[in-house]
Structure 1
Amino acid sequence: MLSRLMNVLKPGIDRQKIMYVLVGVFNTGVGISLFFLLYLLLKNEWHYQWITVLAHFLSVLSSWLMYRRFVFKSEASPVLEYVRFNLTSLFMLGFQILGLYLFVDTLHINPMISQPIVVLVGVVVSYIIHAKFTFSRFFS
């Protein structure tokens, strides 16, 4: 389905960047769905923060598979690439926490305004890190 969508787009458009956004939207849905499902299943046994961690790692696996296959079309060693992807994901989690702290606690901007800004900047930073580090042929 994603490939068909890309065939409709103009040839001059950067396919990789468009696919990155489309796969990112899909992955966001997967992450939210996993959290909801796990929360409904485990809320009586696990604290919601542990459910969040489990959902994060499961969604990272899904994201890696989707980015590897549809965005970067990588043929590198899956194990090393998966480790790099996880490092990038943890870095981005820290980036978002720090970004929110700076916007909310330092600049006193409402979290409802700060979160989308941090996420949008994070999407660009994440793309650059994935393209130059996670899925780079240089590190394969």
Structure 2
Amino acid sequence: MTVIPQAPIASSDQAMWNKVLTLHAHVERRLTQVLQRKHGIGLSEFRALECLVQAAEGELRMQDLADKVGLGQSSVTRLVGRLDTAGFAFRDLCPDDKRGVYAVITDEGRQRYAVARGTYGEELSAALNAAGAVPELTRTVQALRSGA
């Protein structure tokens, strides 16, 4: 008879982190679907537009944008390419360093962000409310909200 070893019991940190990841997946999925359906942009595009709106002069070095959005260099290049195709942002060379490339938001990008921002806020609250009603996530949502 073969004995199959049991998986070790997760530590409290692991259990807590698993709840955070579950909550994150639930919220991200909802935000992604709603932003795409209502505004024709993905969640990464929304976050990039938000970073660019908040940046001085509406521009960021590509590496800085990658860091802020949580993407690698090649992924942010593709992301800005999609924003460029949609007319929401464009790439620009740094005048002092021709190797430096910036992502720059357009007026159309600012408008799309402004319209989508309300939807994002509403859906984020709704997703957290829905997750908070799930017994295994209630305390996680409460902890996040009490620290906000």
TM range (shorter): 0.3 to 0.5
Q: By percentage of residues, which structure has more helix?
A: 1
Instruction: Flag the structure with larger Rg.
Output: 2
More strand by share: 2
TM-score, structure 2 length as denominator? 0.35
